[in-house]
Amino acid sequence: MNGSTGPALKSAPVIKRHPANPVLSHKNVPYHATLTFNAGVCKYQGKYVMVFRNDYGRWDDPKFDGTNLGLAFSNDGVSWEVQPKVCFELKDAEITRAYDPRLTVIDGVVYMCFAVDTHHGIRGGIARTEDFEKFEILSISAPENRNMVLFPEKVGGRYCRLERPMPVYSRGRDRFDMWFADSPDLRYWGNNNLVLGVEHVPYANDKIGPAAPPVKTQKGWLTTIHAVDRDNNRGRNGWESQPWQKRYSAGICLLDLEQPWKVIGMSREPLIAPEASYEIEGGFRNYVIFPGGMILEDNGEVKIYYGAADTYECLVTAHVDDLLELCKPL
């Protein structure tokens, strides 16, 4: 009940929730797993590959023992076989965990962006892998930054990413926006440009940022965003012991092919708003939709994978032409 206060938000009629949802839950994982969500997904060497976040602890208990990343493969993008071992975990004297992986294949190589919690702030990491066993870390940003996603090809000879810095000193708590940066080598980043401010997204009043890595279309880079509205009247909503005052929806926008920091179209309404039972009840934090994977199939079908209620991994599909149609000029 609480998460639904504030303006009613509806998903766009062009998206279809997959009947197999949730496509991944802790029940599919052969090791200690509790919340399995916010996955990155790509197509690599003829298979669908998913790297998912796993917060492990006890079901219905807000205290977790840790976070690691799990690996799953699929032939159809719907039914997933989780591999027997955790594939990635970061923890040392400084780093407390890595989470929210996002996968992009560039020139046949897989890159994974991930968030890193440290004792001195939240940072955004990028690693390269060929086998999902060995990961070579290429860069970890200065704090406070996360939600990085890479474009699937270079633009103007440079690797490109979207990101969400967290400027609390000048912008105030949670007034976060979506930014662009590019790099000659995925290590050194510059050419920083604002892409979209939270004030430009009508269904957000709190923060926005990247969601899944963009896909290329003839009209531009099509990309999802996450968008948060906060209502201080909301109370507890999920097993978390704190009040949960935010609602996360997903949006869709279109970026210029040559100057990807320029938004050339955007839907003024959410693409996916929390509505289904697995998005609004029984989870750790209800009313959360957080896309992390977007795949454009040859037949024009787009698969969008998203974390639901910070608890499950789910899938919606849509046709690319319908998504482009939603992206009206600003």
Q: Is residue 177 close enough to count as binding ligand BMA by CB under 6 A? A: no
Rounded Cα–Cα distance for residues 99 and 49 (Å):
17
Q: Which stretch binds ligand BMA (CB under 6 A): 166-174, 210-218, 284-292, 297-305?
A: 284-292
Q: Which residues contact 298 (CB under 8 A, 6 or more apart)?
A: none
Q: Is the dihedral of CA 198, 204, 209, 212 positive or negative?
A: negative
Size of the site for ligand BMA (CB under 6 A): 8
Judged by beta carbon, residue 111 or residue 290, the one nearer ligand BMA is 290
Q: Which stretch binds ligand BMA (CB under 6 A): 56-64, 193-201, 211-219, 282-290?
A: 282-290
Query: Which positions from 185 through 214 interact with ligand BMA, judged by CB under 6 A?
Result: none
Q: Is residue 163 close enough to count as binding ligand BMA by CB under 6 A? A: no
Q: Is residue 290 close enough to count as binding ligand BMA by CB under 6 A? A: yes
Pick from 127, 250, 255, 288: which binds ligand BMA (CB under 6 A)? 288
Question: Among candidates 301, 326, 325, which has minimal Cα distance to 315?
Answer: 301
CB of 122 to ligand BMA, least distance (A): 9
Judged by beta carbon, residue 182 or residue 313, the one nearer ligand BMA is 313
Judged by beta carbon, residue 14 or residue 272, the one nearer ligand BMA is 272
Q: Is residue 307 close enough to count as binding ligand BMA by CB under 6 A? A: yes
Judged by beta carbon, residue 52 or residue 248, the one nearer ligand BMA is 248
What DSSP line would sit under 43-104, residue for residue? EETTEEEEEEEEEEE-TT-S-EEEEEEEEEEESSSSS-EE-SS--B---SSSEEEEEEEEEE
CB of 155 to ligand BMA, least distance (A): 27
Q: Is residue 285 close enough to count as binding ligand BMA by CB under 6 A? A: yes
Query: Which positions from 33 through 52 interact with ligand BMA, judged by CB under 6 A?
Result: 38
Q: Could you tell me the two tokens for 9?
A: 């938000």
Q: Within its chain, how far is the Cα of 59 from the centroid?
A: 23
Question: Among candidates 201, 119, 131, 191, which has minimal Cα distance to 162?
Answer: 191
Phi-psi region of 124 (alpha: psi -120 to 50; beta: other; left: phi over 0): beta
Cβ atoms of 73 and 105 closer than 8 Å:
no
> Interface with ligand BMA by CB under 6 A: which residues?
38, 100, 248, 285, 288, 290, 307, 310
